[in-house]
Structure 1
Amino acid sequence: MKPIDPRLLRYARATRLFLTAVVALGAVGAGLLVAQAMLIAEVVVGAFQHSMAAAELRTPLLLLVAVACGRALVGWLTELAAH
């Protein structure tokens, strides 16, 4: 069996931070995805089942926009860290 090339170990140490960042951002992205699904369900149920007006759904809709922007930011940061 061949020994591990020391250059590979140096590269592994250098990428540890980026790998940790990608994993953490993936977890945050998963949480935001769940939040987005819950907010979409809340808006749809409120609008169609409870006949709520758009003014009554303002808070969930604004939260939905914020979560969507957060997911976009997390996706961009993940791509940046993975690059």
Structure 2
Amino acid sequence: DKFKADPDSFSLAIVDVLMPVMGGEELVQEIAKIRPDFPILLSSGYAPKSSLDEKIKKKEIEFLPKPYRSRQLLEKVEQMLNTSQ
């Protein structure tokens, strides 16, 4: 809801594939409707679904497999933010 209200106040989304209420795939689709170029970092301990896998291959979203160290997350976020500017 906050993203819908003011999408320009966000720089990046970190999305887990499995989440309560709304799944990661659905959230990625909702974000893309509002801001198609918005940087999304998808994370999961499982292989992404085929629709998300296609977006990863096309570099529309980034993927960080679990488990990961906090340093890996920080480096990926920094890389994505530097690329999106």
Q: Same fold (TM over 0.5)?
A: no
Instruction: Determine which structure has the larger strand proportion and give its number.
Output: 2
* Structure number with higher relative contact order (C-alpha < 8 Å, ≥ 6 residues apart): 1
Instruction: Determine which structure has the larger helix proportion and give its number.
Output: 1
| Larger gyration radius, structure 1 or structure 2 | 1
TM-score class, shorter-chain normalisation, is under 0.3
Instruction: Using structure 2 for the length normalisation, give the TM-score.
Output: 0.27
